[in-house]
């Protein structure tokens, strides 16, 4: 089956995780636009990533990027999550918003500190309403591994969302970049992926490794 190519915007794409996803999605043939609060900075980083990916990656401010994307990824720090979505909300209607936010609360980022209601991403679905299909994904994938194009990534992606076809599409994007995405339930189940990230940070520290990840066992090939 030929994979569909999408226009994908990555808001907060100048950060480590957004840049890593941009590299891999561009190499898989998608048209990627990096978004940032600062459009000029987005263009500078996009030029650097274009060289590394050997594929053209565009840069723009977050609103212009959100307008350009058929699918919009959100990879901003937790503290900027809600404001960023509010700023581009009118550009998201009818689209899929893939939210990779983890509610880390510095300085104790290794301690699970889920927000009231349980999930930072479910809160965005509640904010955005039914016109935006929010999908939670990519929380557990290390930015360092994403950015290291010489290696495949030994990690699965938990994909949560209330819209089943939107989840399937994101599982397809995972496959495009060599990751196995697994449907992990309704959007509120994103709490599991969000909480797990603090556990992985703790494991990285305790066992002196970088980029611990997860695999789900017992489901086909892992």
Q: Compute the least distance from the CB of residue 13 to its own copies, in Å.
A: 24
Whichever of 39 and 110 has its CB closer to its own copies, that residue is: 110
Q: Compute the least distance from the CB of residue 165 to its own copies, in Å.
A: 14
Q: Compute the least distance from the CB of residue 112 to its own copies, in Å.
A: 5
Q: Compute the least distance from the CB of residue 101 to its own copies, in Å.
A: 16
Residue 210 burial class via C-beta count within 10 angstroms: exposed 0-12, middle 13-18, buried 19 and up: exposed
Whichever of 19 and 198 has its CB closer to its own copies, that residue is: 198
Q: Beta 57-61 vs 71-74: how paired, if at all?
A: unpaired
Q: 34-48: buried (b, 16+ CB within 10 Å) or exposed (e) per residue? A: bbbbebeebbebbee
Whichever of 2 and 221 has its CB closer to its own copies, that residue is: 221
The residues that touch its own copies, with contacts defined as CB under 8 A, are 110-112, 114, 118-119, 142, 154-155, 158, 182-186, 188-189, 191-193, 195-196, 198-200, 202-203, 206-207, 209-220, 222
DSSP state for residue 95 in the 8-state scheme: S
CA dihedral 47, 31, 39, 66 (to 10 degrees): -170
Whichever of 49 and 100 has its CB closer to its own copies, that residue is: 100
CA dihedral 134, 155, 44, 89 (to 10 degrees): 10
């Amino acid at each position: 089956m030929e994979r569909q190519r999408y226009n994908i915007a990555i808001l907060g794409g100048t950060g480590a995780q957004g840049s890593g996803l941009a590299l891999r999605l561009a190499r898989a043939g998608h048209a990627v636009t990096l978004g940032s609060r600062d459009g000029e900075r987005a263009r500078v980083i996009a030029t650097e990533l274009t060289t590394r990916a050997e594929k053209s990656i565009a840069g723009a401010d977050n609103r212009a990027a959100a307008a350009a994307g058929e699918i919009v990824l959100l990879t901003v720090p937790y503290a900027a999550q809600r404001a960023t979505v509010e700023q581009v909300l009118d550009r998201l209607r009818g689209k899929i918003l893939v939210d990779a936010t983890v509610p880390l609360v510095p300085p104790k980022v290794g301690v699970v500190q889920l927000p009231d209601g349980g999930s930072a991403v479910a809160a965005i679905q509640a904010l955005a309403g039914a016109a935006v299909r929010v999908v939670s994904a990519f929380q557990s994938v290390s930015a360092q591994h994403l950015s290291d194009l010489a290696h495949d990534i030994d990690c699965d992606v938990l994909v949560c969302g209330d819209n089943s076809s939107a989840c399937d599409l994101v599982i397809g994007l995972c496959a495009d970049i060599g990751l196995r995405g697994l449907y992990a339930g309704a959007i509120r189940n994103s709490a599991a992926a969000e909480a797990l990230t603090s556990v992985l940070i703790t494991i990285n520290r305790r066992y002196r490794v970088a980029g611990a990840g997860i695999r789900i066992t017992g489901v086909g090939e892992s």
